[in-house]
């Protein structure tokens, strides 16, 4: 069946009403809208059609309708008007971000917090690495007879360090030669490419009896493997205010899943694409999210890295608004991460607010 213009208008109205009330919506409520010059009976007929088409669902016979995941999908793809951030909104975001963002380290955590505060949904932020992760250069600083600080400059421009102690003492000469050997042999390699044969070879070359080379190699591998990727989750407790999670069990399951952090890895999957992604209900891979909605934005972050920032909420979520927030903040993050330290958050695509879809 074709989706007539009228059906589309009705579907849109239903979705929006349901988004704001979380209650099944009936024909009367829609007919009450002055925009909709139709009687409830007509609407009822249309609603019956929409239900037959699988875009609406009926919890039970004598209840109103709620949108099915497909219904949401159509809404998101075709019906939803983009939520334009109002001046107040951009200002609020800017204020919140500026206040918090001091350094790139805590950027993620802060962004997540801001998002979850603004949307009142749990938010997560993470970085993933897109390309190879390798050491570009080793520097070994000898602090005293027993202590060496290893500094690894990675390909993406970040540096990692580790203080290594050698209780039996370590010779200056060994440290120096080790630097040479590692810079020659262990740079531009991924963690997988470093194998134990190489390490043993280095040990032999160095005449290393105290495991210094092994320690350095293991530090290298763990650094490369751990991948600068970080995860942050905030605002999970917001779930408890939502009517759909009044059931403690449901809430518990979802929270556990989120805290576990596994989904984060799954959620970064729609890779390559940039911009905002919306995943509705069963569109999610993870079982636990099958009746939740996820909105996420990805953005390029420095070298080889990609940032993801996302929001998890009930299927009934104000996708338009959340998507707008996310894309705005993702844009800001990108700029901050590329620019120099002082965060100058621009007034990105701010517009006058015309329709307030709350």
Cα of first residue to Cα of last residue in the chain, in angstroms, is 31
How would DSSP label each residue in 16-41?
Answer: HHHHHH-S-B-HHHHHHSTT--S-HH
68 binds, among its own copies, DNA, none (CB under 5 to 8 A by kind): none
**Member of 139, 244, 274, 283 binding its own copies (CB under 8 A):** 139
**Member of 252, 262, 290, 358 binding its own copies (CB under 8 A):** 252
Alpha carbon 345 to chain centroid, angstroms? 20
Element (H, E) at 45: helix 40-52
In angstroms, the CA 66 to CA 50 distance is: 11
CB of 351 vs its own copies, minimal distance in Å: 32
- The verdict on 338 binding its own copies (CB under 8 A) reads no
Backbone angles phi, psi at 7, to 5 degrees: -60, -40
- The verdict on 230 binding its own copies (CB under 8 A) reads no
In angstroms, the CA 100 to CA 38 distance is: 50
**Member of 222, 271, 338, 344 binding its own copies (CB under 8 A):** 222
Backbone angles phi, psi at 135, to 5 degrees: -90, 135
- The verdict on 348 binding its own copies (CB under 8 A) reads no
Cite the DSSP H helix spans in the chain. 5-21, 27-32, 40-52, 69-74, 87-100, 104-119, 172-185, 196-206, 212-226, 248-260, 262-267, 319-338
In angstroms, the CA 279 to CA 295 distance is: 6
CB of 149 vs its own copies, minimal distance in Å: 5
* Minimum CB distance to DNA smaller for 9 or for 44: 44
Number of helical H runs and strand E runs in the chain: 12, 10
For the window 48-87, what string marks contact with its own copies as x by the rule CB under 8 A?
Answer: ----------------------------------------
Judged by the rule CB under 7 A, the positions of this chain that interact with DNA are: 24-29, 37-42, 44-45, 47-48, 51, 58-65
8 binds, among DNA, its own copies, none (CB under 5 to 8 A by kind): none
165 binds, among its own copies, DNA, none (CB under 5 to 8 A by kind): its own copies
- The verdict on 184 binding its own copies (CB under 8 A) reads no
The DSSP code for 198 is H
Q: Which two tokens stand for residue 301?
A: 């972050």
- The verdict on 340 binding its own copies (CB under 8 A) reads yes
143 binds, among its own copies, DNA, none (CB under 5 to 8 A by kind): its own copies
Backbone angles phi, psi at 229, to 5 degrees: -65, 130
190 binds, among its own copies, DNA, none (CB under 5 to 8 A by kind): none
Q: Which residues contact 272 (CB under 8 A, 6 or more apart)?
A: none
- The verdict on 344 binding its own copies (CB under 8 A) reads no
Classified as helix, coil or strand, 290 is coil
- The verdict on 237 binding its own copies (CB under 8 A) reads yes
64 binds, among DNA, its own copies, none (CB under 5 to 8 A by kind): DNA
14 binds, among its own copies, DNA, none (CB under 5 to 8 A by kind): none
CB of 28 vs DNA, minimal distance in Å: 5
Beta-ladder partners of 234:
123
39 binds, among DNA, its own copies, none (CB under 5 to 8 A by kind): DNA
Alpha carbon 212 to chain centroid, angstroms? 39
In angstroms, the CA 312 to CA 293 distance is: 6
Task: List contacts with its own copies (CB under 8 A).
Answer: 102-103, 137, 139, 141, 143, 149, 151, 153, 157-163, 165, 167, 215, 222, 234-237, 240-241, 245-246, 248-249, 251-252, 255-256, 259, 340-341
């Amino acid at each position: 069946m074709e989706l007539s213009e009228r059906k589309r208008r009705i579907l849109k109205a239903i979705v929006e009403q349901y988004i704001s009330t979380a209650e099944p919506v009936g024909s009367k409520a829609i007919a009450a809208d002055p925009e909709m010059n139709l009687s409830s009976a007509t609407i009822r007929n249309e609603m019956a059609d929409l239900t037959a088409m699988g875009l609406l669902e009926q919890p039970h016979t004598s209840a109103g309708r709620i949108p099915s995941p497909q219904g949401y999908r159509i809404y998101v793809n075709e019906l939803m008007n983009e939520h334009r951030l109002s001046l107040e909104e951009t200002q609020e975001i800017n204020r919140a971000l500026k206040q918090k963002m001091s350094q790139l380290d805590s950027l993620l955590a802060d962004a997540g917090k801001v998002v979850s505060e603004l949307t009142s949904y749990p938010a997560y932020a993470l970085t993933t690495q897109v390309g190879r992760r390798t050491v570009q250069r080793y520097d070994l600083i000898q602090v005293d007879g027993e202590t060496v600080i290893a500094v690894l400059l990675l390909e993406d421009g970040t540096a990692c360090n580790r203080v290594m102690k050698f209780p039996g003492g370590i010779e200056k000469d060994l440290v120096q030669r080790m630097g040479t050997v590692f810079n020659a042999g262990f740079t531009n390699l991924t963690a997988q490419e470093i194998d134990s044969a190489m390490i043993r070879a280095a040990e032999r070359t160095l005449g290393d009896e105290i495991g210094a080379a092994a320690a350095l190699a293991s530090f290298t591998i763990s650094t490369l493997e751990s991948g600068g990727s970080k995860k942050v989750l905030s605002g999970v407790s917001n779930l408890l205010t939502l009517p759909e999670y009044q059931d403690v069990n449901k809430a518990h399951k979802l929270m556990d899943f989120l805290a576990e952090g596994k989904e984060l890895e799954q959620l970064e999957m729609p890779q390559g694409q940039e911009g905002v992604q919306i995943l509705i209900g069963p569109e999610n891979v993870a079982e636990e999210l099958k009746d939740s909605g996820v909105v996420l934005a990805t953005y390029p972050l420095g070298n080889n890295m990609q940032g993801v920032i996302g929001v998890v909420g009930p299927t009934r979520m104000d996708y338009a608004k959340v998507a707008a927030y996310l894309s705005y903040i993702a844009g800001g993050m990108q700029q901050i991460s590329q620019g120099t330290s002082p965060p100058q958050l621009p007034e990105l695509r701010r517009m006058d607010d015309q329709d307030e879809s709350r």
